[in-house]
Amino acid sequence: MAFPPIITGVAAFVKLGQRDYSGWGMRRTLKRLKKQKYISVSEDTSGRVTVQITKEGMTRALSYKLESMELTKPKKWDGKWRVVVFDIPEKYKRLRDIFRIRLGLLGLIKLQESVYVSPYPCFDEVEFLRELYGVSFTVRYLVAARIEDDDSLKQHFQLG
């Protein structure tokens, strides 16, 4: 239920704390989501129905989160740098480029080709990207007290 097509489909069936999952509209929504391969629906011998989100559905749900993801900037900088280092193999060049783009969209700045930095905590967001793109074994998150010649970084992030 983490992405809008499911939420809008289910919202009509939730009535002031009472849930009615037996209506034709719910069946139609589930059928559509099943056809799109976002969910799988199974029924046991007692008639109990189980709905599971598929890998495609999870990817779709995660992509909705991806579009709205942003870093929370604390009021005061703690003086630590968050460094993301990765070594995604050449055969996954397209994936590597997408990962770089996503780091940039989050507000991290490129320090070197596969090294990005931010003054703001971003572990959860980086972890999300690592899992989404399946590159967790090639990406490392570091917290550094100092980066040599960081004046241009401080200026970019408008840190005092």
Average confidence score pLDDT of the chain:
82
The whole-number average pLDDT for the span 12-41 is: 65
Q: Which amino acid is at 40?
A: S
Domain(s) labelled CATH 3.30.70.240 in the chain stretch across: 81-156
Buried b (16+ CB within 10 A) or exposed e, 22-46: eeeebeebbeebeeeebbeeeeeee
pLDDT in tens, 145-160: 999 999 999 999 999 7
pTM for the model stands at 0.64
Binning pLDDT at 50, 70 and 90, where does residue 24 land? low
The whole-number average pLDDT for the span 110-118 is: 96
Contact 135, 99 (CB under 8 A): yes
pLDDT of 15 reads 38
In angstroms, rounded to a whole number, what is the distance separating the alpha carbons of residues 86 and 5? Answer: 34
Angle at 133 between CA 122 and CA 36, to 5 degrees: 120
Domain 81-156 has CATH 3.30.70.240: yes
